[in-house]
Structure 1
Amino acid sequence: MSETTTETMVGTAGVINGTLQLSQGITRKLSGGVGGQFKEIPVIDLTAMINPSATEEEKSKLVTDIYDACSRVGFFVIKNHGIEWKIVDAAFDSIKEFFDLPMEKKMEVHQSKSVSYQGYEEPYYTNVDRLKRGGDLKESFTTGYDPFTDPLGVGDAMPEILRRHNLWPNPKDAPKVKPGLEQYRAACLKLMRQLTSVIALAIGKNEDFFAKKATYPIAGIRSLYYPPQENQGGEEVGLGAHTDVQLITMIAQKPYDIQALEVLNAAGEWISPTLEPETFVVNLGDMMGRLTNDKFQSTVHRVCNKDARGRYSIPFFYGLNNDELTETLPQFVTPENPLQYERGMTGYEHYNMRMQRAHHKHPSAVNKVLLGLPPGMTKIDGVIVEGL
């Protein structure tokens, strides 16, 4: 993008003088550097990560590919990831079973009954970018991490304030939902723990850099159904322009070939990934941007389902322990890229702040919940730090 003044309104995002502005208070400098300089979403083969016989050369190439995708795009498609697709198919069967329930059954587990935003959202319940008259045209069902079902979890050692207690539908009404999604969560957890080891190498750290920071990680699943949009003129979207909250997001969608996900590049263009069967989309979230001083992109994206078919998607949101303080790594602060974040922040604080802004009908939007953790609970590398 040139240094001259430009104003480009791209759907629900505004690019003014090389800066993207969204109504949630999110801004992104789009001009300069390599960030946002893409015309397509790269595809990365993870064979070298999951194959114990991979050579050092193959592993090194994977780290290089991950670095390029994270610093230039913030999105990439993964293949040969090691997840058995029958697990993903079972998860899609389970969410279809849920969304096919009568509305009164879905409303029994409505998100307004959860202080941590778990449960069902009916169409137009959220208005993520606050620029549409009605809201987001989608249904969703959100469930969170359970330390007692994670083989590597810590059970009772996870502070209660961090638990996101799930609202599951009655198993008599939807017997597939809980087992299907919990099996999917376990598979995604395993993959994300492997992928973050590669990302650790890409940011110049040891591969176990994230291990002590993610003993009871965020592992949220947001099951989504996007009906076809009747209004194709840009007034209505399935999910407004936004960035993701956590460290990494991984998305499966069905049908795989619907190009509804749109990613904003530095030229103000919306780019859709092209998916093959049995692949996932991966993107970085705000906490990765905070950690790397925005060197690794938390890229703005939205969903517009202009296809005649309905689209199901199952984003898996992976983040550090919610009481872990995320501060910018010093190697990413340079004269060319000065410090973007003046203080560290826990995932707990950032999540509550973003959810209150996006969920304008939720009780917390009126009666604000505590954004930050009580004093004496914040950790670095899993250890409480006095004075925080």
Structure 2
Amino acid sequence: MADLNPALNAPSLAAGLAGRRIPFEAVPVIDLAPLLADPAHGATAAAIGEACRTVGFLYVRNHGVPQELVDTVFALGRRFFDEPLDAKMAIHIARSPHHRGYFPMFEENTDPTLTADLKEGFDMALDLPPDDPHVKAGVPLHGPNVWPEALPDFRPTLERYYGEMRQLAERLMRAFAVALDLSPDFFADKIDKPLAQLRLLHYPPQQGHVEEKTLGCGAHTDYGCLTILAQDEVGGLQLQNSAGEWIAAPPIPGTFVVNIGDQMARWSNDAFAATLHRVINTSGRERYSVPFFFDPNFDALVECLPSCHSAEQPPLYPPIRAGEHLLNRFNATFAYRKTTESDTPDH
């Protein structure tokens, strides 16, 4: 068991790995209560848009997701990761043709220039039956989830949480549309069957001298529209500001962290920033987090929005299908997919 006193056996950090401590107000904290009452609330959408343009990260509070549900998900995550490795490997992500299930330490490498990430995780997504048209057609990443047999409460709880996260993400996408001078429903038909992925993560404490090649999660941008992150009290998340400094993003009780992903950056012609971030767990404790990655429909065309380009600011990226982009990133970052045909990342 890891020593719970972080002062004992505290790791040393290589140059550039310490996140500078600044007041958390430097990452905006936005109250979503007005947005829950009015899905197109202009002032809240404007505040969200300003955060997306200047930071790429924000905290949200009064988001409507029950805290007891968040706490239960964390408790179940700890129970799952405490299961014997053989039990977890029985639902290894490579056994699923739809990229669902467990992945062990070093399976994922979010920064392919370095070594693999010091974390383990569990992935689920939109659960689809065999007669679903996309499943019948063999469209990648569409199908059923897989579940651990020893935890009967695991599936219903995560499915409930997934539903809450999807609803919150859809609200945020409406706010994004308003902030980008589009109709509030602009994204609706592009996210009605999303490649949305819920992930449970466990990071062991890092010991000794921590080098950049041994991070809990290497520096990266997320792949989709947005990410909604629940983090425990341990901390360890860092984001890079426009000056190239790494800034700590500590947990704030009752909030989620929201950040922009690559596909929203492409849609907005980089008006909404996809910010580099990483995780370094030097707390001396186990760290757990629950990100929800909200990606568009597989066939959604991600191309520069009409409000985000002009003769002076032409589109920075060519159009791409959302599913193609996501597959490219999975192929580049997951070890088990190296045995299959893969493409280089396009962003």
Q: Could you say which TM-score interval applies, normalised by the shorter chain?
A: 0.7 to 0.9
Matches within 5 A, 1:1-388: 10=16, 40-51=26-37, 59-133=41-115, 135-147=116-128, 156-158=132-134, 160=136, 161-162=139-140, 163-170=142-149, 173-235=150-212, 236-255=214-233, 258-334=234-310, 337-341=313-317, 343-359=318-334, 361-362=335-336, 364-368=337-341
Q: The residue matched to 1:315 in structure 2 has which SS?
A: strand
Shift of residue 147, structure 1, vs aligned partner? 4.9
Over the matched positions of the two proteins, sequence identity in percent amounts to 36
Structure 2 counterpart of 1:49, which letter? L
Asked which structure has the greater RCO (Cα within 8 Å, sep 6+), the reply is 2
Alignment deviations for residues 321-373 of structure 1 (CA, whole Å, 9 cap, x no partner): 111111111332245543211x31111100110011111x21x31321699xx
Structure 1 counterpart of 2:338, which letter? A
Structure 2 counterpart of 1:167, which letter? V
Distance 2:255 2:321 in 1: 31
8 Å contact from structure 2 (residues 77, 200) kept in 1: yes
8 Å contact from structure 2 (residues 236, 250) kept in 1: no
Shift of residue 113, structure 1, vs aligned partner? 1.4
Structure 2 counterpart of 1:50, which letter? L
Distance 1:110 1:370 in 2: 22
Distance 2:255 2:30 in 1: 10
Q: The residue matched to 1:168 in structure 2 has which SS?
A: coil
CA 1:244–1:297 in 2, change beyond 3 Å: closer, same or farther?
same
Distance 1:75 1:47 in 2: 19
Structure 2 counterpart of 1:277, which letter? P
Q: The residue matched to 1:223 in structure 2 has which SS?
A: strand
Q: The residue matched to 1:123 in structure 2 has which SS?
A: coil
Shift of residue 164, structure 1, vs aligned partner? 4.1
Structure 2 counterpart of 1:186, which letter? G
Q: The residue matched to 2:275 in structure 1 has which SS?
A: coil
CA 1:278–1:117 in 2, change beyond 3 Å: closer, same or farther?
same
Q: What TM-score, normalized by structure 2, do the two folds share?
A: 0.86
Distance 1:115 1:95 in 2: 23
Q: What TM-score, normalized by structure 1, do the two folds share?
A: 0.77
Shift of residue 272, structure 1, vs aligned partner? 1.9
CA 1:291–1:159 in 2, change beyond 3 Å: closer, same or farther?
farther
RMSD: 2.4
8 Å contact from structure 1 (residues 227, 305) kept in 2: yes
CA 1:234–1:191 in 2, change beyond 3 Å: closer, same or farther?
same
| Number of residue pairs matched by the alignment | 320
Gapped regions of structure 1 (runs ≥ 5): 1-8, 13-37, 149-154, 372-388
Shift of residue 234, structure 1, vs aligned partner? 2.9
Shift of residue 184, structure 1, vs aligned partner? 0.6
Alignment deviations for residues 192-219 of structure 1 (CA, whole Å, 9 cap, x no partner): 1111111110011111111111221122
CA 1:156–1:370 in 2, change beyond 3 Å: closer, same or farther?
farther
Distance 1:219 1:329 in 2: 21
8 Å contact from structure 1 (residues 39, 271) kept in 2: no
8 Å contact from structure 2 (residues 328, 343) kept in 1: no
Gapped regions of structure 2 (runs ≥ 5): 1-14, 19-23
Structure 1 counterpart of 2:117, which letter? D
Distance 1:217 1:369 in 2: 22
Structure 1 counterpart of 2:29, which letter? V
8 Å contact from structure 1 (residues 121, 139) kept in 2: yes
Distance 2:85 2:227 in 1: 28
Distance 2:143 2:32 in 1: 31
Distance 2:112 2:303 in 1: 29
Q: The residue matched to 1:126 in structure 2 has which SS?
A: coil
Shift of residue 60, structure 1, vs aligned partner? 2.4
Structure 1 counterpart of 2:215, which letter? V
Q: The residue matched to 2:132 in structure 1 has which SS?
A: helix
Distance 2:209 2:164 in 1: 36
Structure 2 counterpart of 1:347, which letter? A
8 Å contact from structure 2 (residues 332, 342) kept in 1: no
